[in-house]
Amino acid sequence: MKEDSAANSRDLLLESPGSNLDEFVDDVEPSTHRRRRNKRHHNHSRNQRDSSEITIDISIANSEDTVKFCSRSEAICASLLQQFVPHFDVQQGVTFQVPIGADRNGNTIAVDFLVDGVLFEYHPVRFFQSRKRFGDFSSREEYRSYAKVFHSLKAEKRAFFHEAMRSRLTLNYYNRRRAILDQHPLFRRTELIVATSPEEFYERIIKRFGKGYPKTVERFLKMFEELMQTLPG
């Protein structure tokens, strides 16, 4: 599964205008062996996959189940982790959607990924209101207070206020997850990383655990956006 996902993402990159393998951080293997291996791998994977480049359902090795992603961004993170982090494999309940507790209604609370012993959550801050939630705000009153202040400010002050609130909501989300983990017998000492954007995903996870990843965040963002356009909604 890891090879198929990596091949799919690399094919998208190779087919993009201006793609250049020199834009990627070198692996530990000598370059001549890497080129020879990639060529065989590329031809082999192209014969195996069907006409669809990438799908959200990724089959788990030695299992009849399929991985179900809650969002397109979650699927993109899984694909890029498999491509760039050595030996990472998406396994439900093990390295993906790792259960850490339950809410007051008995519903399972899970962290998105477990990467080399580190729990990783990809969670863009939510400012929007839905029928059941008020984004990442704790209550209707907190959401309304934010909206009232935001719309009362002049344009030049809105950006500053918005970023300050983003930082606050990110910290609140991290603290809530950390509090649950601190009560877990297995994960109470486990590091937790929350990334709120593709840029943070690249800096905090890919560069730390990955190999052969794009040398620049701009190239990585382009890959992220290409997968965003390719994956089904």
Give the residue numbers spanning the domain of 223: 1-90+211-233
133 Cβ contact list (under 8 Å, min separation 6)? 126
Q: Calculate mean pLDDT across residues 107-132.
A: 89
Return the pLDDT at 233.
58
Q: What tens digit of pLDDT does each residue of 134-171 get?
A: 777 888 888 888 889 988 998 889 989 989 999 999 99
pLDDT band at 91 (very low <50, low <70, confident <90, very high): very high
Does residue 175 form part of some domain?
Answer: no
Q: How many CA atoms lie within 13 A of 38 on its CB side?
A: 17
**Higher pLDDT pick, 126 / 188:** 188
| pLDDT above 60 (res 47) | no
pLDDT band at 31 (very low <50, low <70, confident <90, very high): very low
Return the pLDDT at 39.
46
Overall number of domains in the chain: 1
The secondary structure of the chain as a DSSP string is -HHHHHHHHHHHHHHSTT--GGGB---SS-HHHHHHHHHHHHHHHHHHS-S-S--S-EEPTT-S-EE--SSHHHHHHHHHHHHHSTT----BTTTEEEEEEE-TTSPEEEEEEEETTEEEEE--------SS--TT-SSHHHHHHHHHHHHHS-HHHHHHHHHHHHHHHHHHHHHHHHHHHTT-TTTTTS-EEEE-SHHHHIIIIIHHH-SS-BSSHHHHHHHHHHHHHHS--
**Higher pLDDT pick, 21 / 147:** 147
Does residue 126 form part of some domain?
Answer: no
Does residue 82 form part of some domain?
Answer: yes
Does residue 196 form part of some domain?
Answer: no
Q: What is d(CA 6, CA 170) in angstroms, rounded to the nearest whole number?
A: 30
Does residue 156 form part of some domain?
Answer: no
**Residues 33, 34, 38: CA angle, nearest 5 degrees:** 120
Does residue 135 form part of some domain?
Answer: no
Q: Calculate mean pLDDT across residues 67-85.
A: 92
Does residue 152 form part of some domain?
Answer: no
Does residue 228 form part of some domain?
Answer: yes
